Structure 1
Amino acid sequence: MDDVMIRSAASRSTKAAPASSFTGTVLQDSMATPQAPSRTSATLVTFTPGARTNWHTHKTRQVLVATQGTGMVQVKDKPPQVLRAGDVAVVPPGLVHWHGALAGHLFAHISFVETDGPDNTTWMQPVDEADYQAVAVLPKG
């Protein structure tokens, strides 16, 4: 390719994220797919209030760029961390985690993942509802 390729927003279809890997209504908009020698994909993910991923890991790192609203990311056995527009979370390979919207808040991020094939993500169980409700509120102060 000898020039910049522009994919208009109108040319991309938004799809519902699979219920087998997400809780609540989550929309995905594929922005970029790997084209050799690149291994990077980029997906705009929009979470309605209370929506979230299941616990999961990636074989390669994941970079989450928060673009709208208020969300969170949580690593297994650690407290959650709040994400707001402009925040960037870098998730190392193999780390068990989940991310999504806080209760009562819309949240969107762009997920950049360096893929090493179709099985880059290992999906696990949903985040327990009681556990989510206990942590999915903005801290006071």
Structure 2
Amino acid sequence: MADVTIRPAGSRATKTASSDSFTGTVLQDSMAAPQAPSRTSATLVTFTPGARTNWHTHKTRQVLVATQGTGMGQVKDKPPRILHAGDVAEVPPGLVHWHGAVAGHLSAHISFVETNGPDNTS
């Protein structure tokens, strides 16, 4: 019989995000990797004050669940919007956007995205 898998927080390695995809210091903690038939990944992303993603898109919808601090996101050609802990942002496929922390504040969110392989899970 199947059972629930529990991965203790201490069992997950935190990595520094690549400067190819982010500005400033950003930490990533993989919470769930896709397991067939599911293609959904979940990553806890922590932004130091003022850090953010570069402009980017995803092939599938991205859901960001703000968990800490004050974040911000922007869609190309629109004004930036603030994200507070508990807010949920849904980003449609192909939408050019960025997200991160406002100056002077940490920000963290869990990013859920479907993938067929390596993807920017910010």
TM-score (ref. length: structure 1): 0.83
CA shift, 1:100, in A, is 0.1
3-state SS, counterpart of residue 7 of structure 2: coil
3-state SS, counterpart of residue 70 of structure 1: strand
3-state SS, counterpart of residue 116 of structure 1: coil
CA shift, 1:114, in A, is 1.0
- Counterpart in 1 of 2:79? 79
Matches of 1:38 and 1:7, distance apart in 2: 18
1:16 paired to 2:26: no
CA shift, 1:118, in A, is 2.7
Structure with bigger helix share is: 1
1:47 paired to 2:47: yes
- Identical-residue share of aligned pairs (%): 85
CA shift, 1:15, in A, is 0.2
Equivalences, count: 121
Rg: which structure is higher? 1
Q: Over residues 21-69 of structure 1, what are the superposed CA-to-partner deviations in whole Å (9 max), with x where a residue is unaligned?
A: 1000000000000000101000000000000000000000000000000
- Counterpart in 2 of 1:67? 67
TM-score (ref. length: structure 2): 0.95
Q: Over residues 82-127 of structure 1, what are the superposed CA-to-partner deviations in whole Å (9 max), with x where a residue is unaligned?
A: 0000000000000000000001110000000011333578xxxxxx
Moved over 3 A (4+): none
Any unmatched runs of 5+ in structure 1?
Answer: 122-141
Equivalent pair of 1:59/1:120 in contact (CA under 8 Å): no
Any unmatched runs of 5+ in structure 2?
Answer: none
Matches of 1:80 and 1:21, distance apart in 2: 19
CA RMSD of aligned residues (A): 1.3
Matches of 1:96 and 1:43, distance apart in 2: 20
- Counterpart in 2 of 1:129? none
